[in-house]
Structure formats: C-alpha cells, structure tokens
Amino acid sequence: MINYLWAFMILIGIVVGVLGGNIAEISNATINSSKEAVSLCIAMLGVMSMWTGLMQVAKKTGLVTSFTKALRPIICFLFPDIPKGHIVNEYIASNMIANILGLGWAATPMGLMAMKELKKLNNNSDIASCDMCTLLIVNISSLQLIPVNIIAYRSQYGSINPAEIIVPGIIATTISTLVGVIFATVARKLSKHR
Amino acid sequence: MEVKVNFIVYLSDYIIPFLFFYIIGYSLLTKTSTYDEFIKGAEDGFKVVFDILPTLIGLMIAIGILRSSGALDLLSGTLKPITDFLHFPSELLPITLVKMFSSSAATSLLLDIFKEYGPDSYLGRLVSIILSSTETIFYTLAVYFMAAGVSKTRYTLAGALVSTLAGTIASVLITQLVF
C-alpha cells in the first residue's frame, strides 16, 4: 500500500511541477525536506523519551495493572461473546490501556494477540466475528488521550502553547470512540437478528 | 462562554504536570526505583524515534515534492466548493484523506500545515485536534485482520469510517467553540 502511495505522490508531484513551472522549488524541496526530517526527529527524541520514560515508571508501579482490572466491566459490555476469565480479556485490556496512554507500539502486539485468540474462539473461521469488528472499530476510533507526538511537532514549529489542544482532542476522540461503540453494538444486535 | 472556553485550555495546561505528579508520587509510595525506570523507558523512546527516522525522511521528501509542485493546492482548490458548503477548510482535505492510509504521510502534511499557517492558527489547531482523534483506518484494518488470517471483515470498515467522520466533525465543532 505504502509503496504505491509514496511512488504516486512523487510522480504526480513532479509531473504537476513540470507543468506548472515549479521545477526549481521541487528540487529545493527535496533537499530541504530531508534535512527537516532529521531536525524534527531530534526534537521528537526529547518529548518521546520523556513520555515513554514516564510510562515505564507507571508500568513498574503497577498502575497499569490496576487500570486493566478497572476496564473489566467495559470489556464485558463490549465483548459479550468472550467467556469470563479467558486470556483474551487481558490482551484486549492491555491493548486499550496502551492505546489510551499513547503507547501505540505496545498496543499493537497486544491487539494482534487478541485477534488470534478471537479467531480461535470463532472456530477459526475466515469471517470476522462480532468481537473482532468491535475491537477494531474501537482501536481505529483512537483511544489515545494525549497526542504526545503532535505536541512535540507543535512545539518544534513555534507554538506558544503546544499542549493547549489536549483537552479538546480528548473530547473529540471520546466522541469518535462513543460513536464507534454505538455503531459496533447496533451492528452486532442487527447481525444477530438476521 | 468565555470562562468555559478558557477553562478547557486551562485544564490542558494542568494535565502534563498532573500526570508527572501522580505517577512519580505514586512510584515513591510503592518504593519503585523511579529514576532508573524512567531512564529505561526513555531508552525505549529513543528506539522508537530512530525507527521512524528513515520513514520520515522518505515521506517528507514525497510531501515536499507534492507541496512545492502545487499539486496539493490544486486538489484543495478543486474540492473547495464542496468543503466550503460543509464549512470544512479545504486546506485540510488532503491530510484528512491521507491519514486514513498512512500516519507517516499524514505527519508530513501536518508539518507542512504548521509551516504554512503556524501551529497556533485556526487551521493549525484544528488539524492537531483532528489528528489526535483519528487513526489510520486501512493500515490498522489490514494489519489486524492479516495477523488473524481473516478475509471477510463485515461491518468493520463502515464502523471505522463512521467513527472517524464523527471525530472529524466533533473536532471542527470543538475548535470553533474553544479557540
């Protein structure tokens, strides 16, 4: 997917540029962009490491485990087909917590493990089970509360108050997740009645 | 209204210091080696950023080419009548579409917007909020379903699109309200 997207972007850009007479700008942009990517990563290094450092402390103190227990009722509601005490509950809980805390790279492995287990629970069928659909919709609606990387970018580009978008962002992401949950729950009920 | 609006921004200021206080305070209570764990976690953060660097370079070059060629302006210009009707800034159309496919490409477009309009402009704030509330639909779908070996995804894509749309609309409304 990314191969086509990337190649497409470059080819289209160059063609439009030639047609529009912007070839010099394109040439400069290529070099400047690569330099910019590096200075950006240097800025990100600070913010990212600060955040993952803090999260590691949270993980070690067991705060994360207690949050997992707290999520249990929500998981029972969203995924009623999963037998209580099945390991997949842990995976889903960890996946959601990691997403909420902005640890996308930790969330994905947990999410993938959950999917594998859900498939087993679904008789290894080729068709997505309702639980799989719900898990994905919730994931994609973005559970992340604090968008650390966006804050880092804003700071790098001169924002006076980079963190000001946190609460509005939380409100927006809560709404998108709520809508996603409603959709998934309604779709589940509809498909059961078929 | 003024008071309520400022309160939301005010709250955002408190979140990071609060998190630090809560987590580090709690770690002292549980006698965890706070600083050592912090350093360990920070090292992981390093790895994440270094992993991103090559991708970021590749994508920023592609976006740089697209932008400097005027292709993005062309696209926004063409779709402007529709988005104006919906009160959605057409400048944000490319990034909202691209975000569904690739978060690195979206990041490059985001930085572009910051460069062009500044992160504190209406557009800068709106795009920050939109990106905070959405995910890469197609990429996530592909990865998760491939890992499970499932090919019939049923209503997942529809649900993902609906919730992303809701998030985008909510972002526009909230940005207009708060800023």
pLDDT tens-digit readout, A121-177: 888 888 888 889 999 999 988 888 888 888 888 888 888 888 888 888 999 999 999
For residue B11, give the nearest of A70, A66, A145, A94 by alpha carbon: A145
State pLDDT tens for residues A12-49. 889 988 888 888 888 888 898 888 888 877 877 887 78
The number of folded domains in chain B is 1
CB A167 within 8 A of CB B5: no
Which residue of chain B comes nearest to A148, CA vs CA? Answer: B132
Residue B73 parent element (H or E): helix B71-85
Q: How far apart are CA B173 and CA B179, in angstroms?
A: 10
Q: Is the pLDDT of residue B150 over 80?
A: no
What is the domain range of residue B115? 70-178
Q: What are phi and psi of B151, to 5 degrees?
A: -115, -15
Q: What is the pLDDT of residue A4?
A: 73
Report residue B119 as tokens.
């992160």
Return d(Cα A102, Cα A98) in angstroms, integer: 6
The pLDDT, as a whole number, for residue B1 is 45
Q: If you average pLDDT over every residue of chain B, what do you get?
A: 82
Which residue of A9, A91, A92 is the best one to mutate when testing the B interface, meaning the one whose CB has the most B CBs within 10 A?
Answer: A9
Domains of chain A, by residue range, sit at 63-194
Residues of A within 8 A of B149 (CB-CB) are: 119, 126
Tens of pLDDT, residue by residue over A39-77, are 877 877 887 788 778 777 877 887 767 777 888 888 888
- CB–CB contact A150 B132 (8 Å): yes
Confirm if A87 and A75 have CB atoms less than 8 A apart.
Answer: no
Structure tokens at B159: 């649900």
Are residues A22 and B68, on separate chains, in Cβ contact within 8 Å? yes
Q: Which residues contact B144 (CB under 8 A, 6 or more apart)?
A: A111, A112, A115, A132, A135, A136, A139
Q: Do B135 and A32 touch (CB under 8 A)?
A: no
B120 in a structural domain: yes
Is B163 within 8 Å of A137 when comparing Cβ atoms?
yes
How high does pLDDT run on average in chain A?
83
Average pLDDT over residues B110-114: 90
